[in-house]
A and B are shown apart, each in its own frame.
Chain A
Amino acid sequence: MRWILGGLALFAAIAATAAPPIPETVVQVQPKLVKVYGAGGLRGLEAYQSGFLISADGLVLTAWSYVLDSDSVTVTLNDGRKFEARLLGADPRLEVAVLKIEAAGLPYFDLRQAVDAEAGTRVLALSNLFGVAMGNEPASVQRGTISVKTRLEARRGVYEIPYDGPVYVLDAVTNNPGAAGGALVTRRGELVAMLGKELRNALNSTWLNYAVPIDQLRGTVEQIRAGKFVVRKSEEGAKKPARPLTLGMLGIVLVPDVVERTPPYVDAVAPNSPAAKAGVQPDDLVVLVGDRFISSCKALAGELQYVDFEDQLRLTVLRGQQMKEFVLQVSPKDGK
């Protein structure tokens, strides 16, 4: 009898490996997708991209873009409701950001239940590519297969992106405006990866359709929820010291702050300055001050106002594909 049951179970398991029809999976997954809009992108264009909910109370996972750190980021849910969104934190090395909207009871992907995939896994890519969907119009769905799981590091200096970890390369054309931050799911609707940004091979000008596996992002998301990589909110009301640090004291010259949110790249380091002594170099991108995520030149200048000039400064930069942490100390006599 055991054998019969076992045999039946095996038979059933084989028969049940078929995934549900795509429209069924789509209906289950689309409610978790959101449309992200940030104002003040390049040339005044409205920047748009995709994202998906990762908590019932409104955490949104999306691709990191400098337009996300703004007062006018909005997130539109699948049912059309619009929310003001706040950048909670970001990790520019992974090109991932977490937004927060004030909501409750939302459908979401539980990152802990994301699955791994491999070459040959049939997937669906959901995103708001080309901004086709507005309001309560649902995200677009594309059908594809994972061509390969590989590392981007093999293309160091070739792809204009600091991320060098594993990616899924897809045969569906997901590398389109607005698709970044979308969700890659299996035919059963299980979350696999986040759709990547528009990425071009600098050598042969081909565009890569790739997605970042969730297991690469989980750690950072946990850190962001725990307070690291987090953007300072003005409401936090921390006290500013009487004599705070300045970039001049540190000997750091940033690139000219020409657009509303210029990425904080180091342009020059004054010789013999605290920054030079610590090892900061031109072309480094400032990412963290302490555990705080720094999204722009203005943000860096603002964050330094909370650091007393006599205190040590923990500065984390992105150099190439590496995150490097430095400890800077402005000696007391320099501050006078």
Chain B
Amino acid sequence: MVRALTFAFCILDFAFCTLVLAADVDPAVLRAESERIAVMEKARPPVLAIFSPAGAGGGAGVVISADGYALTNFHVAYPCGSFMKCGMPDGRVYDAVIVGIDPTGDVALVKLFGRDDFPFAEMADSDLAKVGDAVFAMGNPFLLATDFRPTVTYGILSGVHRYQFPAGTLLEYTDCLQTDASINPGNSGGPLFDAQGRLIGINGRASFEKRGRVSVGVGYAISINQIKNFLGHLRSGRIVDHATLGATAGFDENRRVVVTDILEHSDAFRRGLRYGDQIVSFAGRPIETPNGFKNVLGIFPKGWRVALSFRREGKRFDVLVRLAGVHTESDLLEKLARGGQRPPMPLPKPKPKPGEKPESRKPKAPDEDIPVPAPPDEGGPLRPGAPKPAMPEIVKKHFEEKRGYANYYFNRLNRDRVFKAWAARGDFAPLDKPWVLTGPLDGGGKYRFEIAPQQILLTLPKEQISWPVTDELGSSLAPPDSGGLFAALHLWRRLAVLGPERFGEVYYVGTAPFPGCDGPADVLVGLHGGVECRFSFDPKTGLLAGLEMFPDENADPCEVYFADYRDAGGRQFPHRIEVRYGSETFATFRVETVEFAK
């Protein structure tokens, strides 16, 4: 019996092995192929072929939400002007309008019209991507896809967290993905998918050299994690700026990354960072090279507060720094206007920043990159002098021109959305008389805030402080050491009562992490009385989580955090108000009673 079984086993085993060895193709290979095909079929529907209204091919893109928001490169969208056409793999063409642009990071957000059920790509976590992972790109290289069915190219990730020098100061690819999947002109703006068909990057650059502008196995994609940080900002319809620390980093003789230059008016300086300090970690990432430092910096928008750890003489400091903008607003606008200037080939060597040691410069590779795009010209990209195609009606409804914005319509849309969500928890518009808050003081006794339209009165056990509202709120910052609490409270009430239209100038910034908020907070900025006030709203509750009043762009703000929201006369009102200035807590007010004068 055993012999029979053994014999049977051997026959089966032999047969199996023969089958495998003799098969033309290993079944595992066939299985992998059909899996791959299935994944690509599933990934394809949201991929776009983007072209300017005049019909000239621009590049590719990918839809990221069912209501039609889509990502592409700035250098693909910008030459199209304010609106473009997007072809989808099912053959249909949709009108789209520009929403927001990030010229430095080379990303643009557009919105398609015509459906509320667009197929969209699922975003992955690009920090989990490893060198060697299989990836595929979809796009329109050489504009071959006249039927909008994208070309697929397949390869692996050749590198992660790569740095590519900018063309001027635009199109800097920091912390990007490098792939050997063919990336050619026409792939720009299109998706890079992982092996499961999830979006891990937007393709946009490649290293070209002696063969001219065709793929030589070295393509770069902006990581989706970077784009996630900027998504709120892109939705704001603004021309988004990247971040600078106000300090540069380089290697010292012992190959440690140290501060080689720092601006005294930067937030980093105010938080204690000095020339020569060793940068240990930034945004939670250990920093081992100057490129690593630039990589981290490049993935955040201006205005975010990010963790920084540095060391001086053996002592370690952990601080939170506010990132300033790389460009001034006029700088950025000017760069865009001048975009027609193409850099000479090969690209000129980037100027070393002050103090930057030679090791932190890349060796001069004859690297030709996608040139800075020409601004949309009057005649349309292909036929100068020809009449510009008319803006479609649907686009007109969703476009508003305003200096400094790619599309002001979306800024107003989001600004009003955020305010409405706050007002839904408590409409303060009717409460235009003084607000009175009282509560206990730590040392005993009570405080009383009377926040009136023209003045603020603070009554304490031993004194009473009256602060008049003037046209220059930043000129009298009171109480002392608070950074301007009175001005902050005044602006809080002003926004709640008057709303964004009547407050002064209020615009939507985007999203940024904020303490106490589960998820990035929506941020509005209001300008009034010569100061700037940044309002952060909890994305889940809609409530105002805090505000920061900046009397001056180069000074610490007065930070006010609102918590413990409870009902007060049918409206949600914060019953805990914490005030911070610089690195200190000025005071924490527990609110016991809230009264709105009639």
A residues near B, CB below 8 A?
Answer: 1, 3-4, 7-8, 10-11, 14, 18, 21-27, 30, 37, 45-48, 80-82, 124, 129-138, 140-143, 172-178, 198, 207
Whether B386 is near chain A, meaning CB under 8 Å from some CB there, is no
Asked if residues A132 and B162 are in contact (CB atoms below 8 Å), the reply is: yes
Asked if residues B156 and A137 are in contact (CB atoms below 8 Å), the reply is: no
Whether B209 is near chain A, meaning CB under 8 Å from some CB there, is yes
Given contacts A134-B291, A141-B132, whether A4 and B10 have CB atoms under 8 Å apart is yes
New contact pairs (4) apart from A22-B134, A177-B365, A178-B365, CB-CB < 8 Å: A14-B17, A137-B161, A141-B158, A172-B217
Can you list 16 contacts pairing A with B, beta carbon distance less than 8 Å? A4-B9, A7-B9, A14-B16, A24-B132, A26-B131, A26-B132, A27-B132, A46-B363, A82-B255, A124-B132, A130-B367, A134-B362, A140-B218, A142-B156, A207-B210, A207-B211
Contact with A along B1-24 (1 / 0, CB 8 A): 000001001100110110011000
Separation of A81 and B13 alpha carbons in the complex (Å): 52
What's the count of A-B pairs with C-beta under 8 Å?
133
Tell me which residues across on chain B come within 8 A of A129, comparing CB atoms: 207, 217-218
6 closest Cβ contacts across the A-B interface? A22-B132, A23-B132, A173-B217, A7-B13, A135-B289, A26-B132
Asked if residues B365 and A130 are in contact (CB atoms below 8 Å), the reply is: yes
Query: Smallest distance from the beta carbon of B390 to chain A beta carbons, Å?
Result: 44
Which residue from A47, A48, A137 sits with its C-beta under 8 Å from B159?
Answer: A137
Query: Smallest distance from the beta carbon of B17 to chain A beta carbons, Å?
Result: 6
Asked if residues B159 and A130 are in contact (CB atoms below 8 Å), the reply is: no
Asked if residues A134 and B17 are in contact (CB atoms below 8 Å), the reply is: no
B residues near A, CB below 8 A?
Answer: 6, 9-10, 13-14, 16-17, 20-21, 28, 130-134, 155-159, 161-163, 178, 180, 207, 209-211, 215-218, 255, 288-289, 291-292, 359-360, 362-367
Asked if residues A141 and B159 are in contact (CB atoms below 8 Å), the reply is: yes
Asked if residues A18 and B10 are in contact (CB atoms below 8 Å), the reply is: no
Asked if residues A22 and B364 are in contact (CB atoms below 8 Å), the reply is: no
Asked if residues A177 and B131 are in contact (CB atoms below 8 Å), the reply is: no
Separation of A259 and B21 alpha carbons in the complex (Å): 59
Tell me which residues across on chain B come within 8 A of A48, comparing CB atoms: 363, 365
Asked if residues B365 and A131 are in contact (CB atoms below 8 Å), the reply is: yes
Separation of A26 and B95 alpha carbons in the complex (Å): 44
Separation of A80 and B272 alpha carbons in the complex (Å): 29
Given contacts A10-B13, A11-B16, A142-B180, whether A176 and B218 have CB atoms under 8 Å apart is yes
Instruction: Determine which residue in A27, A46, A207 has the highest number of CB atoms from chain B within 10 A of its CB, and name it.
Output: A46
Separation of A328 and B144 alpha carbons in the complex (Å): 65
Asked if residues A138 and B131 are in contact (CB atoms below 8 Å), the reply is: yes
- B-side binding surface: helix, strand, loop or mixed? mixed
Residue of A nearest to B11 (CB): A7
Asked if residues A23 and B10 are in contact (CB atoms below 8 Å), the reply is: no
Which residue from B157, B162, B180 sits with its C-beta under 8 Å from A137?
Answer: B162
Asked if residues B218 and A132 are in contact (CB atoms below 8 Å), the reply is: yes
Tell me which residues across on chain B come within 8 A of A177, comparing CB atoms: 209, 365-366
Which residue from A21, A47, A137 sits with its C-beta under 8 Å from B132?
Answer: A21
Separation of A10 and B6 alpha carbons in the complex (Å): 15
Separation of A27 and B292 alpha carbons in the complex (Å): 20
Asked if residues B14 and A137 are in contact (CB atoms below 8 Å), the reply is: no
Separation of A14 and B341 alpha carbons in the complex (Å): 60
Tell me which residues across on chain B come within 8 A of A45, comparing CB atoms: 363-364
Asked if residues A136 and B132 are in contact (CB atoms below 8 Å), the reply is: no
Separation of A23 and B156 alpha carbons in the complex (Å): 9
Tell me which residues across on chain A come within 8 A of B163, comparing CB atoms: 134
Given contacts A22-B133, A137-B162, whether A3 and B10 have CB atoms under 8 Å apart is yes
Tell me which residues across on chain A come within 8 A of B132, comparing CB atoms: 21-27, 124, 141
Tell me which residues across on chain A come within 8 A of B155, comparing CB atoms: 142-143
Asked if residues B291 and A22 are in contact (CB atoms below 8 Å), the reply is: no
Tell me which residues across on chain A come within 8 A of B14, comparing CB atoms: 7
Asked if residues A137 and B209 are in contact (CB atoms below 8 Å), the reply is: no
Asked if residues B288 and A135 are in contact (CB atoms below 8 Å), the reply is: yes
Tell me which residues across on chain A come within 8 A of B131, comparing CB atoms: 23, 26-27, 30, 138, 141
Tell me which residues across on chain B come within 8 A of A207, comparing CB atoms: 210-211
Separation of A173 and B216 alpha carbons in the complex (Å): 6
Asked if residues B363 and A80 are in contact (CB atoms below 8 Å), the reply is: no
Which residue from A23, A132, A176 sits with its C-beta under 8 Å from B178?
Answer: A132
Tell me which residues across on chain A come within 8 A of B209, comparing CB atoms: 130, 176-177
Separation of A3 and B14 alpha carbons in the complex (Å): 11
Tell me which residues across on chain B come within 8 A of A174, comparing CB atoms: 217
Which residue from A10, A124, A130 sits with its C-beta under 8 Å from B17?
Answer: A10
Which residue from B10, B130, B207, B292 sits with its C-beta under 8 Å from A7?
Answer: B10
Separation of A131 and B366 alpha carbons in the complex (Å): 10
Query: Smallest distance from the beta carbon of B29 to chain A beta carbons, Å?
Result: 10
Separation of A141 and B178 alpha carbons in the complex (Å): 9
Tell me which residues across on chain A come within 8 A of B161, comparing CB atoms: 137
Residue of A nearest to B156 (CB): A143
Separation of A172 and B131 alpha carbons in the complex (Å): 16
